[in-house]
Chains A and B, each alone.
Chain A
Amino acid sequence: MTVKSSIARVTAKTSYWFLRNILHRGGTSLPGKLAVSIDPDILKTIQQDFDLIIVTGTNGKTLTTALITRVLQAGGYQVITNPSGSNMIQGITGTLVTTKIKKSPNGKKPLAVLEVDEANVEKITAAIQPKMFVLTNIFRDQMDRYGEIYTTYEKIVSGIKNAPEALVLANGDSPIFTRGNFTNTRRYFGFDHIVPTDYNPNVAPINTDGILSPTDNSVLHYDFITYANLGKYFSTTDEFSRPELTYRITSVDKLTPRYSTFSIDNTPLRIEIGGLYNIYNALAAFSVGREFGVAPEQIKKAFESNAQIFGRQEAINVDGKDVIIVLIKNPVGTNSVIDMMLTEKDEFSLLALLNANYADGIDTSWIWDAEFEKLHDTKIQAVATGGERYQDLRVRLKMAGFTDQTVHEDLSEVVTAIKSLPTQKVYIAATYTAMLQLREQLSAKGYIKGGF
């Protein structure tokens, strides 16, 4: 290590300590910036200290990263990881230079498992040669900010091309990951729980993106679809089909809003969070674990002993009502939430909140691509709408057949709104800033502690 890089690290660590202990602020972005300003090559300098695993994709990065971390720790690795939300280059640099890297107890090289924003993969790999890329999925997400799925994927591919030796471990159920002219070894994970009994070609619903075959742009057919455009696809015009899977979901045993049980390569597993889409995150973590030699039994334990990492769906009690808060932000995510509600055994009400600020996506047209009509197949008893763009959501749900919804123009009545719903169980689905406002209300009235 050079003198310059030593100074850079010390400065970053000092600023990190100062931010945390004196200013009581988190964040790794400022220390990252300081380190780079002293030694622009700081990432190159420190890379010999660990092996890097990059986790990227549209959805599921945070939970997948957390699960991989637990799985690898269960396998005896020392693991460095970035806090949720710190997935741009500055924050990642900050994480790497401020974390104390200790040798793994069993002498294995420490691993850095980093959630990386899609557009930042290239910046990281310009400095560090990762050992592995984990690709979760690519969906349309607030297109006013992120652009189209193919441009997003091209950004990731540019990053992969910087590291030709790295293993690419990708979601094989997502057709887009079969694209890209890079030479890296690829291995795929996916669902293999349904054996097609006869030839029954099926296509994705019309509001699904990314359904063209990479070979001849014909519309893909499926033996089965898990959600969105994910599933066991094949072309009817040539030999193209889903690549062979190395890690497979061999059975889906029980789906509930609180937990799922399933098997990967015939190992029975359980995760403490609902939603089929979360099984993909577990599958990705299982796959990484196996690549690094972690035994299935250890992975099973890692999943079961870490209920607190599945913190995305929050359950709170509002004067005796069981309130479950879920974030919605794009059609695929919303459909996944609706699919989860299909597994709810109790009668429930839905309070849906829509804002259209920058962090939510300023275009609300996406709500028309989410299949709210499917809510009729759940045990839903009442629908209420609110948020700054309550009108859009009110009309969406009205046209989906929910004609007697209650409308709350002002979010300050949210507690009253919850109490007025007829069921014991209440789901609140909110966009990002609506969620912040909701939490503020719940916090002000003492139902939850603090804000974010």
Chain B
Amino acid sequence: MAGYDISIAHLYGNLMNTYGDYGNIIALTYYAKQIGVAVDYHLVSLGDEFNATAYDFVLFGGGQDYEETIVAHDLKSKANPIREYIENDGALLAVCGGFQLLGKYMLMADGTKVDGIGVMDHYTTNMHDEKLTTLKGKRLTGNIVIKNNETGETYHGFENHQGRTFLGKNERALGSVVSGNGNNGIDNTEGVIYRNVYGSYFHGPIFTRNGNLAKRVLTTILNKKYSTIDWQTKLNLIETETF
């Protein structure tokens, strides 16, 4: 069999990996391996260059507030190649803090404003925002279920965030909230889809519980890289873990 492989960049994996985010790479690798695709892991961290054409998938996880401010600073130097990667339809999963930092800005719990890199149009305010009269001051924590209306797929997870994210133009939600809070507890949206970028507040390992989403993203990655092969059919033949 010809050797197929995909290359994964884990953005700030040593600083933004606080909620089992690495589980997404474990899950992706698990499915890829079963269809004969090898996975190459690369940590891209502080001071490292992000090469816009070197990766087939990028994971950008969530972290503690402290690490997030350090990352936000460093991320500026990578903004252009990340934008290039995204606009070139590269697949990316951004969780929690990673999701926030790709947007325009985020207001932290202590009121400080941290600039995102604005490669996407959403912005994040904090739970004490005066404009948010509903659920003001409440941390959004608990089990969550959403439904993606385009695919009909249901995703299960756990959310724990104080940021309230509002989607911008050209962005659509990953799903509508069935139970739980979602992006901001108000507009019933959860997560984001923009080109091949997926963002979510689902804690860490969204791919592990939602094998349907993992397979969807893996299909996108492989179709882009090896367009002559019917990856969908191959993936349909293996068991999907969803619970």
Residue ID in chain B nearest A150 by CB atoms:
B66
A150 and B243 form a contact (CB under 8 A): no
Is B40 an interface position by the 8 A CB rule?
A: no
With beta carbons under 8 angstroms apart, the residue of B10, B14, B22, B160 that contacts A363 is B160
Is A198 an interface position by the 8 A CB rule?
A: no
B23 and A217 form a contact (CB under 8 A): no
Please name all residues of chain A whose beta carbon is closer than 8 Å to the beta carbon of B149 when the two chains form the complex: none
B142 and A362 form a contact (CB under 8 A): yes
B20 and A392 form a contact (CB under 8 A): no
Please name all residues of chain B whose beta carbon is closer than 8 Å to the beta carbon of A366 when the two chains form the complex: 19-20
B66 and A365 form a contact (CB under 8 A): no
With beta carbons under 8 angstroms apart, the residue of B17, B27, B67, B160 that contacts A144 is B160
Is B175 an interface position by the 8 A CB rule?
A: no
Nearest chain B CB to A440 CB, angstrom units: 25
Interface residues on B, range: 20 to 34
* Segment with Cβ contacts to A, from B118-126, B176-184, B189-197, B202-210: B202-210
Please name all residues of chain B whose beta carbon is closer than 8 Å to the beta carbon of A208 when the two chains form the complex: 14
A399 and B30 form a contact (CB under 8 A): yes
With beta carbons under 8 angstroms apart, the residue of A212, A365, A391 that contacts B203 is A365
A188-208 at interface with B (beta carbon < 8 Å): 203-204, 206-208
- CA distance in complex: A52, B198 (Å): 53
Please name all residues of chain B whose beta carbon is closer than 8 Å to the beta carbon of A144 when the two chains form the complex: 141, 160
Contact A365 to B23, CB < 8 A, known contacts A206-B43, A219-B45: yes
Is B186 an interface position by the 8 A CB rule?
A: no
- CA distance in complex: A362, B158 (Å): 9
Q: What's the tally of chain A residues with a CB closer than 8 Å to chain B?
A: 32
Chain B CB within 10 A, most for which of A144, A369, A400: A369
A395 and B209 form a contact (CB under 8 A): yes
- CA distance in complex: A219, B12 (Å): 11
Please name all residues of chain B whose beta carbon is closer than 8 Å to the beta carbon of A143 when the two chains form the complex: 18-19, 160
Please name all residues of chain B whose beta carbon is closer than 8 Å to the beta carbon of A396 when the two chains form the complex: 23, 208
- CA distance in complex: A365, B26 (Å): 13
B243 and A207 form a contact (CB under 8 A): no
Please name all residues of chain A whose beta carbon is closer than 8 Å to the beta carbon of B209 when the two chains form the complex: 392, 395
A368 and B22 form a contact (CB under 8 A): yes
- CA distance in complex: A190, B195 (Å): 50
Is A242 an interface position by the 8 A CB rule?
A: no
Is A245 an interface position by the 8 A CB rule?
A: no
Please name all residues of chain B whose beta carbon is closer than 8 Å to the beta carbon of A322 when the two chains form the complex: none
Nearest chain B CB to A27 CB, angstrom units: 30
A399 and B208 form a contact (CB under 8 A): yes
A-B contact pairs, 23 of them (CB 8 A): A144-B160, A149-B64, A150-B66, A204-B14, A211-B14, A212-B15, A212-B66, A217-B70, A363-B19, A363-B158, A365-B20, A365-B23, A365-B158, A365-B203, A365-B205, A368-B21, A368-B22, A368-B208, A369-B23, A391-B243, A392-B208, A398-B241, A399-B208
Given contacts A362-B158, A365-B204, 13 further A-B contacts (CB under 8 A): A144-B141, A209-B18, A209-B64, A211-B14, A212-B67, A219-B15, A362-B141, A369-B20, A395-B241, A395-B243, A398-B30, A399-B27, A399-B30
Residues of B bordering A, CB below 8 Å: 10, 13-15, 17-23, 26-27, 30, 43, 45-46, 64-67, 70, 141-142, 158, 160, 203-205, 208-209, 241, 243
Residues of A bordering B, CB below 8 Å: 140, 143-144, 148-150, 203-204, 206-209, 211-212, 217-219, 362-369, 391-392, 395-396, 398-400
